[in-house]
Amino acid sequence: MSGFGNGRDIISYVALGDSFTEGMNDPYAESTGTGQERYRGWADRLAEHLARTCGEVRYANLAVRGKLIREIVQRQVPRAVELAPDLVTLCAGGNDIIRPGGDPDATARIFEAAVRRLAATGSRIVVFTGMDTGFQPVMRHLRGKIATYNMHLRAVADEHGCDVVDLWSMRVLQDRRAWSGDRLHLSAEGHRRIALRVCELLDACPPADWRDPWPAEEPLPWRAARQDDLHWAREFLVPWIGRRLTGRSSGDGRTAKRPELERLEPARYRN
């Protein structure tokens, strides 16, 4: 397929998904004035880069943190079909897979139905595999389920002509600096590298290489590392487990941050 960095006049782009695509935890410098932090993330970064290299980019981000795949299919996919953009990115199913009893086979069937609907619009579709969690002790037991889901996603992508961003093979994300303090969401640098990877896939002239090695870093002393683990468990793990047990979601009551296709002004954004 042709690239998106070749001076096309107008590009429309819709991003679908959960917290990964909403952009947690990559905050904008400016406040929204609403009392809620506004996140940037790899999808905003991608759209901003396209706006600097194309004549005009219209962009909507319908992703909402915590959403399960059925919610994404029921609420976000129909809107994307209605908008019929040039480009759609879809990352969904991760919140289903990590829940107790999450079934990668059943989740993949729902994912395939979503892709089928999106493909009917003629949009270029980019999907994402799950990440390899082998380096994260708390998530390591999920590797098998994620790998199974990834095989399904690749089959769906092959059938419907989707591009695939293989997060599983991005070893650069296995550095702790790619992750925010909650160890569940990417850091700003992690999001930046994902955006560069998608730019590469789209042949959109990425401004840097996502493979660049991390600077050398001294490991944390054992005592400091254990204190960090205790802080993480108290501040993030326990509340996360509590939400799972009570059926609550971090996205309850939230709406999409960019619900309409709106033109981006490239001069506003930094790299």
Question: How far is the CA of 13 from the CAs of 90, 146, 243, in angstroms?
Answer: 11, 27, 32
pLDDT tens digits along 78-92: 999 999 999 999 999
What is the DSSP secondary-structure string of 156-187?
A: HHHHHT-EEE-GGG-GGGGSGGGB-TTSSSB-
The mean pLDDT value for 214-233 works out to 72
Return the number of other C-beta atoms located less than 10 Å from residue 148's C-beta.
17
The alpha-helical segments, DSSP class H, found in the chain are: 19-22, 41-53, 69-71, 77-83, 94-97, 104-119, 143-160, 188-201, 222-232, 238-246
Name the average pLDDT for the chain.
87
Question: Structure tokens of 177?
Answer: 């600096």
Q: CATH topology for 10-212+256-268?
A: Rossmann fold (3.40.50)
| pTM (predicted TM-score) | 0.89
pLDDT in tens, 103-143: 999 999 999 999 999 999 999 999 999 999 888 877 788 89
| Ordered strands of the 124-128 beta sheet | 163-165, 124-128, 87-91, 10-17, 56-61, 258-263
Give the β-pairing of 258-263 and 56-61: antiparallel
Give the domain ranges of the chain: 10-212+256-268
